[in-house]
Amino acid sequence: MLDLKVTETYDESQIQVLEGLEAVRKRPGMYIGSTSAQGLHHLVYEIVDNSIDEALAGYCTHIEVTIEKNNIIRVADNGRGIPCGIHPQMGIPTLEVVLTVLHAGGKFGGEGYKVSGGLHGVGSSVVNALSVWLEAEVRDGHEKHFMRFERGVTVKPMESVPFESETGTTIRFKADPEIFETTVYDFEVLEKRLRDQAFLNAGIKITLRDEREDELNEEVMHYEGGIRQFVEYLNRTKTPIHKDVIYMEGSREGSMAEVAMQYTDSYSETLISFANNINTTEGGTHETGFKASLTRVLNDYGRKYNLIKENEKSFSGDDVREGLTAIISVKLQEAQFEGQTKTKLGNSDMRTLVETMMNDRLTTFFEENPSVARAIIDKAQTAARAREAARKAREMTRRKSALDGASLPGKLADCQERDPHLTEIYIVEGDSAGGSAKEGRDRRYQAILPLWGKMLNVEKARLDKVYGNEKLTPMITAFGAGFGEDFDLSKLRYGKIILMADADVDGSHIRTLLLTFFFRFMRPLIEHGHVYIAQPPLFKNEKGKDVRYTYSDEEQRACLDDMGDGVRVQRYKGLGEMDPEQLWETTMNPENRIIKQVHMEDAAAADEIFALLMGEKVEPRREFIEKNAKYVTNLDI
């Protein structure tokens, strides 16, 4: 890998100051995205990113993240420690500058770091401003320094004592409930992010501990193989068509790129890219270079060795990426991020670097491993034939639609409103529940489409098998936006698509099948927040005129305690047991209902869970179910 280690001195002179902290508590969303759970977890990432930067610079090998009781976070590393001498510009300890001045750090023009991962570069000072309190301990090999702050204000000036031992920084903080909607951390959310960082920085060890319960929960993430192991991890639920992960790296003018890739027998692609450890979910120049090179190299190799005949068309990008799992990671000094969420890399030279590196390394790999090259080309040829079959099926579907006037499906009970901003469609399991939903709905803006039986598992089907499928076609027609490469979000007929199935195993299976289809063939529906899951009640409790519905066993126990004796309890086994009025009141009335929006903040996690639950391998699915049995109510996304 490219040597990114910094040889210059890292001291107070490297910390440059740009501006103060004033606006952070007034407008926290500007600095951490939101004050929801997402923003809360972002606090941890900001502190960890500083430790990761120390690892990139070559000085940190172990990061420990601990969730203490009362949701206090402790992040400790064995890096050099934040500089603590008197800052030449500010005249106060540099540790205080770093923790109380916005945009103060070794990443803004100083020589402290060649490459840094923080997207906003706001880091520790913002975490300090948004915490009830924050404590910093720095060990520099000679002394141990300590400071304490409350809501960004210094309350305990720096104290220093002799300490001739290890170096590093430990930050402890308590997020401010005045700022955040919740201050409870999700172990799995932190684990996912930290695991990515461990994969992306080969050799670094990251330990995540949860001390909130009596039983300690701990995950140690340490991957000497870096992104090679990342690909193996993502493919653990799939069957690779070649044994070893293909790995390539290259560098030029202080930037580096590395790619790890492996093909599986699945029909979908998983392409995840990073720039300076930031997940570039909107892609960018590094992805463009990768895709262009992959298509070119496979076509050139196939033509050279007569694996693609003269009368055959060249492979398209979609053909060569079917079944591919790939990680692209680039590191550069002046990353330029674009796009709506600032997660699209814009540096044009990174396309050149990735494309040139891939052209050279992948061609060499295929020349040295002809059996692997042939297996990949066979896969692409099968994909090309299926794509051609899908094209013919699509044209037939279009002609059929034109002949029948693109009529809406017979089982659809449409709504009167035509403005998609005001309309919603319930996808309901079974004709019985569909009948109740049709009677109970507000027909002005609520449409109902009943589904019957299990639908096609698209995780195990190619595109040509999806066209004309009798279970999927009514839904595709009702939505009006097409699917696959023809999908057009602007033609969507309903602003909310609400999945309403029974709260049992069959209902969960149907929801998962539907979400798999949306994820594979209508992904913008999820990306733009159009998909929701209805939460029907599990119990109805009656005592005289007092009627209450509950949605979980825990809520039910609390309700019974509150209502006292003499409560008549009805346990709903399915939606079909509710009459239209009950279904409206509990599950469809916007004033009372509970619906959960389906988010896709992390395509890798979504892809992994769909492949695991809907794929061919049984053992990983069994392990997942056993591990998550106690969380079964949250099995959906």
Active site residues: 429, 502, 504, 506
Single out the residue of 137, 121, 157, 149 nearest to residue 79, CA to CA: 137
Alpha-carbon span 611 to 353, nearest angstrom: 32
Where do runs of H (alpha helix) occur along 121-235?
123-129, 187-200, 227-234
Q: Tokens 């609390």 — which residue?
A: 558
- Single-letter residue type at 185: Y
**Distance between start and end Cα atoms, the chain:** 36
Rounded CA-CA distance 533/545 in Å is 30
Q: Put residue 103 in one of left, alpha, beta given phi > 0 → left and psi -120 to 50 → alpha.
A: left
Q: Are β-strands 62-68 and 205-210 bridged in parallel, bridged antiparallel, or unpaired?
A: parallel
Strands of the 217-222 sheet, one edge to the other = 153-162, 143-150, 131-140, 167-175, 72-77, 62-68, 205-210, 217-222
For residues 355 and 293, the answer to whether their CB atoms sit within 8 Å is: yes
Q: Which residues of 512-534 are buried (b: 16+ CB within 10 A; e: fewer)?
A: bbbbbbbbbbbeebbbeebbbbb
Taking the CA atoms of residue 31, residue 34, residue 38 and residue 43 in that order, the dihedral angle to the nearest 10 degrees is: 30
DSSP 471: T
How far apart, in whole angstroms, are the C-alpha atoms of residue 148 and residue 169? 14
Candidates 598, 601, 602, 583; CA nearest to 635 is 598
In one-letter notation, the amino acid at residue 174 is K
SS3 for 335-388, per residue? CCEECCCCCEECCHHHHHHHHHHHHHHHHHHHHHCHHHHHHHHHHHHHHHHHHH
Query: d(Cα 600, Cα 538) in Å, to the nearest integer?
Result: 27
- What one-character DSSP code corresponds to residue 404? T
Torsion sign over Cα 435, 466, 636, 509:
positive
Identify which of 15, 12, 25 has the alpha carbon closest to the alpha carbon of residue 126.
25
For the four alpha carbons of 337, 338, 339 and 345, in that order, the dihedral sign comes to negative
Question: Is residue 43 within 8 Å of residue 193, measured between CB atoms?
Answer: no
201 DSSP 8-state letter: S
CA angle (185 as vertex; 181, 190 as ends), nearest 5: 125
